[in-house]
Every structure is written in structure tokens, then in C-alpha cells.
């Protein structure tokens, strides 16, 4: 009897590790940031849901890291020097090992502007990103992101400078970093044209970047960058991998329910816009109807700004008509 009781307790105790999102704390402000241990070696610091401002200093997306025998591999570095330094402190809470590799999942500023802190602490650390991210950032978009974040945070991210990724990926690579394998996935134009998802097979973990978003509007911050159909395909691909733990770009880490919600959001959005397009409505005329179709997601952050997302999908539906 006692054994059975112990077994039951054990099951309860491991349930959160299986990745149920309700056990993950999403901070409301910068003082509440916590390190969440997902497996023996995977940790996530969840960002604040919202837009960059002077309080969150651009920490609006998730950063995850893997502690391996030789050192630490981090995926996404936050939106400023200050956030990068905070992440370095969080890493030091669990290990004194050095950071030996950095990944940036795509070119949006919240995912790479913290690189400067990692380069300062580890001058030789390689920073990986998709080749198209490096190309676009090198051609003026890096400066634009720094300007956007500097203004949005009321100049409170002083010292943040541009440190570009320097190791180009195409997708399909298997990278060995100090004895651990990381698989790189790129399925074409999705959230952007330069997304990579990083799989850590040892712990069945996928760092999806903004391919997977939960709790805020999917691709709503930069709708002009995304392809709804492409992102649906990318999420389906993510769901086809042998993964237990999905670390989204924004929102709680969890199991399959996280990418499944992203997929549902995109499918309902696309189908709704397509339907009203077929009925002859303009994007502004279908707004309230699309919002009604998406009511399951009405509490997701940024829902009040859905007009630009509808506009983007409307243009995508229109373009598909002429393919
Ligand atoms: Zn993001
Ligand atoms: Zn993004």
C-alpha cells in the first residue's frame, strides 16, 4: 500500500516535467523572472507577454538553454544588453560552465539584441542563425531593430549594440557541440523567411522560436514578415518530430497542446479570411466576423491589434488566387 502511495506521489511530481503549460509561470514584470527547469539539462526563462517597454527592457520572448558536460548552449538572447546580462546571471544560478554556443531563431530584435552580453562575456562564442537572417540584418535591418527597441524602451537599454550572428545555417544540419547533437530545422517561409527550430534530441526538446507562439497573437507583431500557410506547415512539421517539450518563442513551454493551439489559431484565421474574401468582403469589412471566428483566442495579448494581421492574411489569400 505504501509503495502504491509513493508511486502516486511520484507521478504527481513528474507531471510538470512532462511539460504541462499551466505549471509554467509567465512573469508580469521584470522582477518576477524565474528559471524553469524542464529536464535534467534544459532550462527556460520565460519572457513577459507584450511589447517592449522601459519596464521589460525588451524581454518579451523566451530564452532557453541546455547545460551539457562542457558548457551551456543558449537559444535566443533577449532584446537588450541588460536582458542578456540577466540571462547570464540566471545561467550562473545553475552552473559555472561557460556559454559555448548561441542560437538566434530569427531576425526579430527580441531574439538577438541581447547577443552583445554573451559576446562581451565570451568573446569567441559562435552565434548561429539562418543565413537569410544574417543577410537581412547585415543589410540594414539590425540598425532598424536597435532603433525600434531603443525608442520603445525609452532609451533604457543603453549599451546595447549590434552583435550579429556569425555562423550561417540553412536548415537540415546536425551540429555537434561538445559531444551533444543539435538538429536544425527550417521549412521555408513561415513566421519569417529565416526561422530555425533547434531540436535537442537527447531530451526530446524543441526550441521553436516564433513558429510556435501561445498566449499572444501568432505573428501579430510583424505580420508583413509572415506566411500563414507556411507557418501552418512549419507547426505541423514541429508536431511531427519526436518531441515531448516545446519551448515556444512566446508563452509557456509545454507539450503538444502548445503548437496545436498555434496551428488552430492560424487555421481558423486563414479559413475565416478566405471565406469572407470569397463572399466579396474587403479586409476592414470582415474584421468583426473574423474576430468572432477567433473567439477562443480573444484573451491572447495583442488581440485588439488584429486588424493588421487580418490585412496581411487578406493579401496572402488574394495573392494565392493569382498563383
Ligand atoms: Zn518574438
Ligand atoms: Zn518573431
pLDDT value for 30: 84
Ligand 1: distance of its center to the CA of 23 in Å? Answer: 22
Ligand 2: distance of its center to the CA of 279 in Å? Answer: 32
Q: Which residues have beta carbons under 5 A from ligand 1 (an ion)?
A: 61, 108, 110, 210, 249
Ligand 1: distance of its center to the CA of 314 in Å? Answer: 22
3-state secondary structure the chain: CHHHHHHHHHHHHHHHHHCCHHHCCCCCCHHHCCEEECCCCEEEECCCCCCCCCCCCCCCCCEEEEECCCCEEEECCCCCHHHHHHHHHHHHHHCCCCEEEEECCCCCHHHCCCHHHHHHHCCCCCEEEEHHHHHHHHHHHHHHHHHHHHHHCCCCCCCCCCCCCCEEECCCCEEEECCEEEEEECCCCCCCCCCCEEEEHHHCEEEEEEEEECCECCCCCCHHHCCHHHHHHHHHHHHHCCCCEEEEEECCCECCHHHHHHHHHHHHHHHHHHHHHHCCCCHHHHHHHHHHHCHHHCCCECHHHHHHHHHHHHHHHHHHHCC
Ligand 1: distance of its center to the CA of 152 in Å? Answer: 15
- Helices 306-321 and 257-278, packing angle to 10 deg: 60
pLDDT value for 2: 43
Ligand 2: distance of its center to the CA of 11 in Å? Answer: 36
Ligand 2: distance of its center to the CA of 111 in Å? Answer: 7
Ligand 1: distance of its center to the CA of 169 in Å? Answer: 19
Ligand 2: distance of its center to the CA of 78 in Å? Answer: 12
CATH architecture of the domain 17-257 equals: 4-Layer Sandwich (3.60)
Q: Which ligand is nearest to the CA of 191?
A: 2
Name the residue ranges covered by the structural domains of the chain: 17-257
Report the chain (323 residues): mean pLDDT per 10 consecutive residues.
43 39 77 92 95 92 96 98 97 97 98 98 98 98 98 96 98 95 98 98 98 96 96 98 98 97 98 98 97 96 94 97 87
* Structure-derived torsion over alpha carbons of residues 260, 193, 171, 127, reported in degrees to the nearest 10: -110
Q: Which ligand is nearest to the CA of 216?
A: 1
pLDDT value for 17: 37
- Give the C-alpha distances (Å, rounded to integers) separating 106 from 37, 159, 175: 24, 22, 18
Q: Which ligand is nearest to the CA of 76?
A: 1
Ligand 1: distance of its center to the CA of 196 in Å? Answer: 13
Cβ neighbors of 176 (< 8 A, separation 6 or more) are: 182
* Report field, pTM of the whole predicted structure over 0.95: no
Cβ neighbors of 187 (< 8 A, separation 6 or more) are: 171, 195, 230, 233, 234, 237
- The Cα–Cα gap between 310 and 284 comes to 8
Amino acid at each position: 500500500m505504501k509503495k502504491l502511495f509513493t508511486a502516486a506521489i511520484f507521478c504527481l511530481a513528474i507531471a510538470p516535467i512532462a511539460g504541462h503549460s499551466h505549471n509554467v509561470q509567465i512573469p508580469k514584470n521584470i522582477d518576477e523572472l524565474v528559471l524553469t527547469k524542464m529536464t535534467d539539462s534544459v532550462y527556460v526563462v520565460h519572457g513577459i507577454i507584450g511589447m517592449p517597454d522601459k519596464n521589460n527592457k525588451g524581454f518579451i520572448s523566451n530564452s532557453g538553454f541546455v547545460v551539457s558536460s562542457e558548457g551551456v548552449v543558449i537559444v535566443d538572447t533577449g532584446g537588450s544588453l541588460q536582458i542578456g546580462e540577466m540571462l547570464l546571471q540566471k545561467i550562473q544560478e545553475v552552473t559555472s560552465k561557460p556559454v559555448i554556443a548561441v542560437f538566434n531563431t530569427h531576425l526579430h530584435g527580441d531574439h538577438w539584441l541581447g547577443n552583445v552580453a554573451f559576446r562581451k562575456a565570451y568573446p569567441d562564442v559562435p552565434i548561429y542563425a539562418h543565413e537569410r537572417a544574417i543577410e537581412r540584418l547585415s543589410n540594414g535591418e539590425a540598425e532598424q531593430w536597435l532603433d525600434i527597441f531603443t525608442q520603445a524602451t525609452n532609451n533604457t537599454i543603453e549599451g546595447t549594440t549590434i552583435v550579429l550572428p556569425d555562423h550561417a545555417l540553412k536548415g537540415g544540419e546536425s551540429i555537434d557541440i561538445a559531444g551533444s547533437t543539435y538538429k536544425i530545422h527550417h521549412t521555408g517561409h513561415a513566421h519569417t523567411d529565416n526561422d530555425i527550430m533547434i531540436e535537442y534530441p537527447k531530451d526530446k526538446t524543441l526550441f521553436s522560436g516564433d513558429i510556435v507562439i501561445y498566449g499572444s497573437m501568432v505573428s501579430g507583431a510583424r505580420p508583413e514578415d509572415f506566411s500563414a500557410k507556411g507557418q501552418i506547415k512549419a507547426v505541423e512539421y514541429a508536431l511531427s518530430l519526436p518531441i515531448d517539450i516545446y519551448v515556444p518563442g512566446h508563452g509557456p513551454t509545454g507539450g503538444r497542446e502548445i503548437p496545436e493551439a498555434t496551428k488552430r489559431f492560424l487555421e481558423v484565421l486563414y479559413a475565416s479570411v478566405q471565406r469572407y474574401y470569397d463572399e466579396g468582403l474587403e479586409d476592414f469589412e470582415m474584421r468583426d466576423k473574423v474576430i468572432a471566428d477567433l473567439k477562443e483566442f480573444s484573451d491572447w495579448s495583442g488581440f485588439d491589434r488584429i486588424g493588421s494581421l487580418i490585412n496581411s492574411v487578406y493579401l496572402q489569400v488574394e495573392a494565392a488566387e493569382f498563383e
